[in-house]
């Protein structure tokens, strides 16, 4: 059996990208459009999401969807599927990414709860809402955004690290639950990547990453897109429950 090029390309695919209005989600949306997919961007940054969807053309839609709101998730996923005529891909990318910079003793309870509600519960509920659509497509693909911070034990980032550790664990269990429906679930674990959300990260942490990588340069969003596109493709259908660090070799599993 040979793998033909169409099996690793995405023309006509129908993909929802949560948190897609900026940063890595925006990069994934742009890459998906370039690969020929239809895309729904969801976010809480409504003006940016609408502007991005308008820029990317008539196969791209913006749907407001707050990942901390269970009803909004269900309604948002169904609206996304109606725009695209179904769903065969989901990138669980939306997250609270700015909770770092404090030792665990100083993290507010409210911060912890908000990070868990969006990053963990939101990922769970979005996947549940998408499950019927993904199953109907016959080859659903879920890509969760974990983080290598959960793999190397980044300090001063405990709520976020815990949330991404949960995403890793959920990826394994989701893969087993959804496998019988032909749905694969994988995660990528990016290293510290240059986006506006990481501008607040102290320079010393950026240097720690840069010095610890096998590929000694800054990581940019485009370093992640090919891995995500592959995991969304039909050709990746026998890979599931895996966590792929994409971080220039900073963490090696």
Ligand X SMILES: NC(=O)c1ccc[n+]([C@@H]2O[C@H](COP(=O)([O-])OP(=O)(O)OC[C@H]3O[C@@H](n4cnc5c(N)ncnc54)[C@H](O)[C@@H]3O)[C@@H](O)[C@H]2O)c1
Q: Which is nearer to ligand X, 10 or 166 (CB)?
A: 166
**Interface with ligand X (CB under 6 A), residue from 8, 45, 75, 251:** 45
Q: Is 73 in the site for ligand X (CB under 6 A)?
A: no
Q: Is 76 in the site for ligand X (CB under 6 A)?
A: no
Q: Is 140 in the site for ligand X (CB under 6 A)?
A: no
**Interface with ligand X (CB under 6 A), residue from 68, 126, 131, 236:** 68
**Interface with ligand X (CB under 6 A), residue from 16, 130, 161, 195:** 195
Contacts 24+ apart (CB under 8 A), 207-215: 209/247, 209/250, 212/250, 213/247, 213/248, 213/249, 213/250, 214/248, 214/249, 214/250, 214/252, 215/248, 215/249
Q: Tell me how far, at minimum, the Cβ of 58 lies from ligand X, in Å.
A: 22
Q: Is 139 a catalytic residue?
A: no
Q: Is 145 in the site for ligand X (CB under 6 A)?
A: yes
Q: Which is nearer to ligand X, 181 or 242 (CB)?
A: 242
Catalytic sites, residue numbers? 160
Binding site for ligand X (CB under 6 A): 19, 21-25, 43-45, 65-68, 93-97, 118, 145, 147, 190, 192-193, 195, 197-198
């Amino acid at each position: 059996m040979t793998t033909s090029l169409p099996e690793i390309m995405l023309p006509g695919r129908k993909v929802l990208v949560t948190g897609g209005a900026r940063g890595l989600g925006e990069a994934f949306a742009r890459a998906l459009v370039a690969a020929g997919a239809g895309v729904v961007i969801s976010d809480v940054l409504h003006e940016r999401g609408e502007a991005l969807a308008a820029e990317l053309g008539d196969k791209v839609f913006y749907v407001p969807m707050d990942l901390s709101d269970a009803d909004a998730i269900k309604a948002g996923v169904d609206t996304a599927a109606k725009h695209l005529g179904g769903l065969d891909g989901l990138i669980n990318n939306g997250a609270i990414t700015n909770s770092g910079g404090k030792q665990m003793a100083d993290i507010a309870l409210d911060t912890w709860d908000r990070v868990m509600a969006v990053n963990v519960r939101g990922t769970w509920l979005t996947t549940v809402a998408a499950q019927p659509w993904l199953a109907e497509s016959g080859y659903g693909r879920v890509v969760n955004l974990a983080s290598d911070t959960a793999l190397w034990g980044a300090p001063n980032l405990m709520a976020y690290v815990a949330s991404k550790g949960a995403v890793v664990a959920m990826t394994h269990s989701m893969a087993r639950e959804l496998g019988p429906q032909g749905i694969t679930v994988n995660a990528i674990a990016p290293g510290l990547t240059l986006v506006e959300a990481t501008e607040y990260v102290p320079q010393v942490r950026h240097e720690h990453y840069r010095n610890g990588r096998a590929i000694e340069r800054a990581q940019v969003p485009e370093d992640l897109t090919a891995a995500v596109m592959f995991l969304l493709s039909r050709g990746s259908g026998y890979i599931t429950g895996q966590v792929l660090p994409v971080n220039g070799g900073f963490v090696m599993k």
